[in-house]
Amino acid sequence: MQKHLFLGVEAIGQGAIDGGMSGVYAYPGTPSTEITEFIQDNPIAEERNIHRKWSANEKTALETALGMSYAGKRVMSCMKHVGLNVAADIFVNAAMTGVNGGLIVTVADDPSMHSSQNEQDSRFYGKFAMVPVLEPSSQQEAYDMARDGFALSEKTKVPVMLRITTRLAHSRAGVARKEVLPENELVMPADPRQFILLPAIARRKYKGLLDSQSLFLKLSEESEYNRYEEGTDHSLGIVACGIAYNYLMEHFPDGTCPYSIVKVSQYPLPENHINRLNRECDEILVLEEGAPMVEEMLKGFFSNGTPIKGRLDGTLPRDGELNPDLVAKALGKEMFEGFDIPEVVANRPPALCVGCGHQDAYLAMNEALADYSKGRVFSDIGCYTLGALPPYETISSCVDMGASITMAKGAADAGLIPAVAMIGDSTFAHSGITGLLDAVNEKSSITIVISDNESISMTGGQDSSAFGRIESICIGVGVDPAHIHTIVPLKKNHEEMVRLFREEFAYEGVSVIIPRRECIQRASSRKRNKK
């Protein structure tokens, strides 16, 4: 059978299309971005007119996906792990409402924080919401789970989480495709009150969700993705979750590990397999990518004192990515240390692109703030976060999407005036508008710099939902038009930018300055595509 060499994210996109999906709703975030980009460029998606445009943020994406599910269609919502924090409200409540058409929530975690603020483990959210979680161990399973997850969602009548991590998302392997399924017909929910979470209904729905847990466990016990592999050496049993199973089997290329293994790729945990491992083995090693969720559960699961090893007891590092070398060390196998890294390929700090407009904005801002004490610029998530590094060292915070405006407001409330918020155009649309509304309502003395490079540049230049409308949004929220200024951040405009910043820093009220110049990388790409 011919196989396709897919990245894990591409396998998920293809699997969802082949599973009869009618729409994908997402906000870009590494390492999940390419799922939607793959679907956007896919000929079957184009032929079927599958919805595949970007959403303003992860919350709106998942809410819209639930609406498509309400209408009976199969739908996927994609995000990175911190995006699930933004969508947590709808994610947990969607488990209560249940679904009509199948709904898969694909979440890509980023252990080791390659491009993230933290390395949280989204399996906890799945457990918290009490929905089935799928965690592929390979690109083939990623495809199969995306294709078949809709049917699982429709069978369990709740959303299904598909959780991956960076290494699986961005590595390739051969994937065998299956039959392309038809899309669902439009059909209304059988229960007209299913999606109304009034307290009386919500209490009934919650009891139903609790009652469904036994079905979820039964499906997990019977799942083709979970299995018990019996070994000959019972001194150790291994629970290998998701991609950790691949890391383990790399050390046994003939496929025969001497230790018994419980392969876990569908949650809730398959209790029968785990109980058997506990009965037959002297101690248990838990291999899992991310937080020690399963290890914690097993420590409370057994009462007979079976030693449990993993990330909590130091057998494996508590933080960072798992890899085959760390697994080898946990098994007591000899590790090949490799060669020293030459200086020419050693890690180097990231930097703003040559010619980036953020550079000119930061240089002007630094000069305008020279007469004030340090620590007045609150920043946000985006390329401009690199303004924390030399030679700029302009910003003092970067916490979460939208926090620049609200933190600047809080600092101004405390008496730190002027307080400055630095935010990008797409982040402003994602989570900044509500903070601006708070500031306008209280007439806070803050200056908001919306550095507009006309795209979501940090994740590859996707379209910003605020494109071409930032000034009108600010006016609509209530900012005085006399204090909304647009300027082109170029070296020739440096003196004008410094003057503008100084004037607005002195203004007692909400002001907005928009340095606007297209992202240098996006502009280059656009010109190349025109040729």
Model pLDDT for residues 337-369, shown as the tens digit of each residue: 778 888 888 777 788 999 999 999 999 999 999
Helix (H) or strand (E) segment spanning residue 502: helix 494-505
Residue 2 scores a pLDDT above 80: no
Do residues 60 and 89 lie in contact, with contact meaning Cβ atoms separated by under 8 Å? Answer: no
> Encoding tokens for residue 290?
């991310």
Distance CA 456, CA 430 (A): 11
At residue 40, the pLDDT reads: 97
Q: Which is higher by pLDDT, 441 or 527?
A: 441
Give 301 or 244, the one with higher predicted confidence: 244
pLDDT digits (tens, 9 = 90+) for 196-247: 999 999 999 999 999 999 999 999 999 999 999 999 999 999 999 999 999 9
Which domains are seen in the chain, by residue range? 3-222 (3.40.50.970), 227-331 (3.40.50.920), 357-524 (3.40.50.970)
Percentage of the chain beyond pLDDT 90 is: 89
Q: Give φ, ψ of 139 to 5 degrees.
A: -65, -35
pLDDT of residue 77: 98
Q: pLDDT tens digit string along 161-170?
A: 999 999 999 9
Q: What is the rounded average pLDDT for all residues in the chain?
A: 95
Burial environment of residue 2 by CB neighbours within 10 A (0 to 12, 13 to 18, 19 or more): exposed
How confident is residue 114, by pLDDT bands cut at 50, 70 and 90?
A: confident
| 379 band by pLDDT with thresholds 50, 70 and 90 | very high
| Alpha-carbon gap, residue 98 to 79, rounded angstroms | 20
**The pLDDT of residue 526:** 83
pLDDT exceeds cutoff 70 at 496:
yes
User: 135 pLDDT exceeds 90?
Assistant: yes
Q: What is the mean pLDDT of residues 168-181?
A: 96
Q: Which of 431, 524, 498 is nearest to 86 (CA)?
A: 431
Residue 304 clears pLDDT 70, i.e. is over it: no
Going by C-beta distance under 8 Å and a sequence separation of 6 or more, which residues neighbour residue 458? 381, 382, 383
Q: Using CA atoms, how far apart are residues 220 and 266, in angstroms rounded to an integer?
A: 6
pLDDT exceeds cutoff 90 at 525: no
Model confidence at 28: pLDDT above 70: yes
Residue 108 pLDDT greater than 80, yes or no: yes
pTM of the model: 0.92
- How high is the pLDDT of residue 366? 97
Mean pLDDT of 267-283: 96
Could you give the strand order of the β-sheet that contains 227-229, starting from the edge strand earlier in sequence? 227-229, 259-264, 233-241, 284-287, 308-309
1 pLDDT band (50/70/90 cuts)? low
